[in-house]
Structure 1
């Protein structure tokens, strides 16, 4: 009975949706505008009856108001919809602050569509409706956690007019005081800043949300850059005593949105070094990436960077969502052929040891990484020529030593790769066999491997066609065994 009631309720909701669409079409196509059906739609949006899908209702209202705003002229009776439009906008803002993420995303879409239609309307006086955009951002920042919704809002910041206004409002709506006093608001604010992309792809596209002369086309990179730097100064001033989640988000914003456009990149040195040495895991990794950017673009050297990078490779790294970023950074840091051999040897041994106890996908990555390092540093190829059995019993490599230079890895051998050749996963075993043959001329591209999902190796094995083996060279015509079979020589079937 409950299931039938559910089906009937679903059918009734679909019928109401079709009825709303027909009523909207009839109202818009009528020779004289009658706002009565529109008022009923708005009443349903306010009262939220169970038999009406609220997302469908918001979509119908979007179509109605978009159509009305596009009309070149409206009679006196049609002007009644103006107050209804204002009421609808208030209700949509309320839905953006709703606890239902589905309704919030739909309300955001409708609001941004109405902003575009209102700005392009031929009879609406004034400029870009910037107040409406500000009200949206106020609700997103001050409400419950809206990380996913703000990520959806990032689709609109690809337009230069929305980007320009969002940067302006980000300055005005910044939380006051330390972030630790209101972590949810701080997280929402940082999520908004993380959508403010001043990259070349956005600037070169020259796209605008509002396609009219009313659009804020006064966007200039230098002005936006100054505001973004001011936003960062506010962020760093409010980040005292924040928890690890907020600290990680601050680093993400710095790396992805702020650092490429900073007026004084060296000014974040202390923040990055403190993050690197005081934290472990993702925070230290993100700080390391920032330090690498400064080393690369500002020609600055930092002490103990390789030691910290070496310590980041441990068994827990395989459950880290920033794992691919760590491999990427390690590959770049170890690119130079002028690094000391004993330093690179320590990384080679660390990768070999971790490959013994890592998931198959990560084991393949580290084996390929080892091969690349052996190609870059030919002096390390002696590690694959030792006696694997003897070294396995007495390996001079000290994996507990934190300083990679002091690990004695250069006096060891890669017996781990011989052991990995017996791995149950064929892809891992095959990858480890490179030491049995002359090393390849070209390095392996780690990029595709870093994008592989954990379950892909097993799925590929299932999809691969197994070899067909002949079990009998004679087709049996009866239930009896084949002629000259070994069993029939010694037994009679009754």
Structure 2
């Protein structure tokens, strides 16, 4: 029975409802079910209890019955879910009709009813949040999310300045962040609500920030951080101006007061949420995921670019592909948000190491390197150091890596003609020229110098590329000869060389049609160590000496 007030008293305090006569006829028609149908069919049973509640307040006790049914964990999943859906419709009607709001001058009996309804509503929300949303059963979780968002929408109806964070959205986000990573409910929330509605996004940012500020045990902290990152990474819609803030899940807020119409407020909340996640500690894979979308999903939310500089420099120290992605982010901040970072090219230069041409990230690196070095205003001394260092690495690199280096060097010479001294510098002093011809020249380039401005590459030459013209792989040898030819081609498209592999080069060579067959030995010798006219041949005599000396 309904606790707190008498059902007879309730029946005597009926309030006028907004439903018309046709609705009442429809409801009565639904209630005329046979007892056997009500008992046998769970859906009919739930609908019967629901329509009784709508028909008369004397049946409010059905709400408690439906809540107990929704709580059932005895395997009858369908019945429990049907009860939860019916309760959602019941409370949505009550909230919409204003039957759960106190007013001045209201009789005490009405106050008791409203108090009881609010208690049942809180109990029902706890069932959805604590039992359903945390359940291991996917249909229960999905149903819970849909019902909760429907109720939140009803709560905000008619309240232009409804504060979602002070409602139950905070608890919902907290539970989603505590979900195991395999659960898909978080992705469903991100796709249907977080990514679509400005008010949901604004208060979800606030919730993530607040939750990550709490102190948790280490494994819970790691789970919340990981799920918070996954939720933020799912957000790919970034408002570009105030006019883009026009999609609201709840009631449209008043423009004069609400921060939901402020682009600055949105970016501030997003910035705080991202900083909270980044400060909570990321694994190597998570850091890569963040850096991979940095330029188009994270940086645009930040109004002060320098706040991200420390994260990017720390990421660079991780090494490998992480360093490369971090430099990509730094370059974006330098070029788009005017970040002052004078050591950028020195850090980029440090990535030119022995493992570069063997790395699986080689193609990505050269794409970014081509972007970083695209400016024609870079000092020739700096460009010369990059050219020389890559030429050195090409001597020991695989053919698939060398075929990228050579056209890149060619393009650099076209952009920076001052560097062509490295391939053509006339020695006018005859004595110096004679000395070089007789004794050779020591390469002035300092390979171990970390600062490209001090490596003296501009004083050196590209003898490495000329050496590659005698490479064992014919494709590499042919390509290296472009440095010795006249620079008549404007530039090479680097994309044509980036995705080559050793197998591809080998297959292309083996599949080539031969215009002229290779020369072979036409006379096969009968003996190797002995000759026909003597006891032993030259090779046999040599072998005899080796045996004697040993």
Task: Please say whether Structure 1 and Structure 2 have the same fold, judged by a TM-score greater than 0.5.
Answer: yes
Larger Rg: 2
Give the match for residue 169 of structure 1. Answer: 207
Give the match for residue 467 of structure 1. Answer: 513
- 2:272 aligned to which of 230, 242, 266: 230
5 Å-filtered alignment, 1:169-208, equals 169-177=207-215, 182-199=221-238
Give the match for residue 416 of structure 1. Answer: 464
Alignment partner of 1:432 is 2:480? yes
Alignment partner of 1:308 is 2:347? yes
5 Å-filtered alignment, 1:277-426, equals 279-317=318-356, 326-385=365-424, 395-421=443-469
The alpha-carbon distance between structure 1 residues 144 and 352, as it changes in their structure 2 partners (threshold 3 A), is farther
Q: Give 3-state SS (helix, strand or coil) of 2:212's partner.
A: coil
5 Å-filtered alignment, 1:139-154, equals 139-145=175-181
Q: Which TM-score applies when normalising by structure 2?
A: 0.53
- Equivalent residues, number: 399
**Maintained 8 Å contact 2:205/2:270:** yes
- 1:160 aligned to which of 191, 197, 204: 197
- 1:264 aligned to which of 289, 304, 324: 304
The alpha-carbon distance between structure 1 residues 468 and 125, as it changes in their structure 2 partners (threshold 3 A), is same
1:351: how far off?
1.8
The alpha-carbon distance between structure 1 residues 264 and 438, as it changes in their structure 2 partners (threshold 3 A), is same
Q: Give 3-state SS (helix, strand or coil) of 1:402's partner.
A: coil
1:227: how far off?
0.6
1:37: how far off?
8.6
Alpha-carbon RMSD: 5.7
1:370: how far off?
1.3
The alpha-carbon distance between structure 1 residues 267 and 125, as it changes in their structure 2 partners (threshold 3 A), is closer
The alpha-carbon distance between structure 1 residues 209 and 365, as it changes in their structure 2 partners (threshold 3 A), is farther
CA distance in 2, matches of 1:93, 1:397: 65
The alpha-carbon distance between structure 1 residues 46 and 316, as it changes in their structure 2 partners (threshold 3 A), is farther
1:410: how far off?
1.9
**Maintained 8 Å contact 2:389/2:447:** yes
Give a deviation string over 1:307-326, Cα, whole Å, max 9, x none.
22111121334576765554
1:350: how far off?
1.7
CA distance in 2, matches of 1:427, 1:214: 67
**Maintained 8 Å contact 2:465/2:480:** yes
CA distance in 2, matches of 1:179, 1:247: 22
CA distance in 1, matches of 2:147, 2:466: 65
1:113: how far off?
7.0
Give a deviation string over 1:437-476, Cα, whole Å, max 9, x none.
33254333445765x48588469849x97538899xxxxx
Gaps of 5+ in 2: 1-36, 46-68, 94-122, 158-163, 255-259, 427-436, 524-550
Gaps of 5+ in 1: 1-31, 49-56, 74-82, 472-485, 488-494
CA distance in 1, matches of 2:253, 2:355: 49
**Maintained 8 Å contact 1:178/1:238:** no
Q: Which TM-score applies when normalising by structure 1?
A: 0.58
**Maintained 8 Å contact 1:421/1:429:** yes
